[in-house]
Amino acid sequence: MKCIRTLCLVLWSFVFSSTADEYRERALTLMADTPLIDGHNDLPWRLRLKFNNQLSSVDLYTLKDTHTNIPKIKEGRLAAQFWAAYVPCDTQYKDAVRQTLEQIDIIHRMCQKYPDDFMFAASSQDIMDAFGQNRTASLIGVEGGHSIDSSMGTLRTMYQLGVRYLTLTHSCNTPWADNWLVDDGTHPVEYNGLSDFGKRLILEMNRMGMLVDLAHVSEQVMNQVLDISKAPVIFSHSSACGICKHKRNVPDNVLLKVKEKKGIVMVNFYNDYVTCSNTADLSHVADHFDYIKKVAGASIVGFGGDYDGVSRVPTGLGDVSKYPDLVAELLRRNWTDDDVRDALGRNLLRVFKDVETVRDSLKNTAPDDEPIPLEQVQNSCRTDYGYREKSSAPGITARSQLHLASVLTLTSLFAKFL
């Protein structure tokens, strides 16, 4: 009897192993014909912290102590990556623009240093071209509206440098939008979502063809943008609030609005957003895929690992090489090949193309060049060139008024001696 039990265990182990191999082989087959597109990776910030952006001092083939390097990318079949041009909130009102430009620069230099592995991409077609060349399409997303210093001109300039999404806030309010921390009471509500300038900014992003990223924003901002935007929106790295009630995740009612808007929610792998605890595993992440699919359909889900931007990742998803294992798990859960292809990249490509279509339809619309009101951004580190005080005469700037007052004062003094 003991021998029979042992034989059964061996046979069961063999069958289980064979089935697991079958799912993984199916996953690799699907990933060979459909690009895996990930919405968010913070390797550029790791390079800032570890090497002060001195790319000459690092080899991305042998880089250790990160979730991401080139061999891991190849093993994970990562076909396209939005690299985050992220700088922390404490740069707001200081040097956020400079530091963000430096993060944009290092992403470009990664592509230049490793041209056989990375191809810089700025369009949906570029992603497919890179996929056909077996290179990882490298796109830029700016993570945090504080990076543009409340300037549409700065945002347009970043678009010209290849930035293709802006995360409206990070973990601080900007002078025009509330961040996710207002929803748990950590930060004060300042604008009940978006200010008038913030609403105009959304339309300007539509005009220029930049994806609006709602990761990190308050629920009020989520709803306002979904109502305002003429183009689909993305959550580049957020999970389902219905599983983990964290304020960084997406509530069910918003999932349904994303479906109506034909947008995408790209699932985050950070343990705290996956299970609302320090520990998680690959199966827990797959639960978020299942949940979003159940609530709003497979047409709005994608991958947004947040690798190298988080301190804890699930067991079984330790780095970017593990994507095929997650895809295999979805197949094991009876996801169809079409559902998997949608999640891998077809959803993001559809959203990107729709954003480009809206951009093309607005090509005759003039850029919005009305600056944010000075009183909303005035601080000791900001000059006021170009602004006019409400009380000043037409054509007289605040600086001109000060000069005029000085002249009048001197004239009055001279008159006393004449």
Determine contact, residues 35/127, Cβ cutoff 8 Å: yes
Determine contact, residues 131/80, Cβ cutoff 8 Å: yes
Structure tokens at 271: 């343990």
Say how far apart CA 303 and CA 247 lie, in whole Å: 19
Say how far apart CA 347 and CA 156 lie, in whole Å: 26
Determine contact, residues 56/96, Cβ cutoff 8 Å: no
Active site residues: 40, 42, 143, 170, 216, 237, 306
SS3 213: strand
Determine contact, residues 209/358, Cβ cutoff 8 Å: yes
Structure tokens at 120: 């810089």
Per-residue model confidence (pLDDT) at position 151: 98
SS3 363: coil
Per-residue model confidence (pLDDT) at position 18: 60
Q: What is the H or E stretch that residue 197 is in?
A: helix 196-208
Q: Which residues of 159-187 are buried (b: 16+ CB within 10 A; e: fewer)?
A: bebbbbbbbbbbebbbbbbbbbbbbeeeb
Per-residue model confidence (pLDDT) at position 332: 98
Say how far apart CA 233 and CA 241 lie, in whole Å: 18
Nearest to 156 by CA among 372, 367, 376, 386: 367
Q: pTM of the full predicted structure?
A: 0.89
C-alpha 70: how far from chain center: 21
Tens-level pLDDT at each residue, the chain (418 residues) = 555 555 544 444 444 456 779 999 999 999 999 999 999 999 999 999 999 999 999 999 999 999 999 999 999 999 999 999 999 999 999 999 999 999 999 999 999 999 999 999 999 999 999 999 999 999 999 999 999 999 999 999 999 999 999 999 999 999 999 999 999 999 999 999 999 999 999 999 999 999 999 999 999 999 999 999 999 999 999 999 999 999 999 999 999 999 999 999 999 999 999 999 999 999 999 999 999 999 999 999 999 999 999 999 999 999 999 999 999 999 999 999 999 999 999 999 999 999 999 999 999 999 999 999 999 999 999 999 999 765 444 444 444 444 434 444 444 444 444 4
The one-character DSSP state at 342 is I
Per-residue model confidence (pLDDT) at position 13: 47
Nearest to 209 by CA among 257, 139, 272: 139
Say how far apart CA 218 and CA 36 lie, in whole Å: 28
**Tokens 């609005």 label which residue?**
257
Per-residue model confidence (pLDDT) at position 401: 44
C-alpha distances in Å from residue 71, one per residue of 59, 64, 77, 109, 383: 11, 11, 10, 18, 47
Per-residue model confidence (pLDDT) at position 11: 43
Structure tokens at 211: 């994806």
SS3 66: coil
CATH 3.30.930.10: does it fit domain 16-361?
Answer: no
Per-residue model confidence (pLDDT) at position 4: 59
Say how far apart CA 217 and CA 181 lie, in whole Å: 8
Determine contact, residues 255/300, Cβ cutoff 8 Å: yes
Structure tokens at 316: 């079984």
Say how far apart CA 79 and CA 286 lie, in whole Å: 20
Say how far apart CA 333 and CA 321 lie, in whole Å: 21
Determine contact, residues 164/170, Cβ cutoff 8 Å: no
Query: Phi/psi at 65 (nearest 5 deg)?
Result: 65, 25
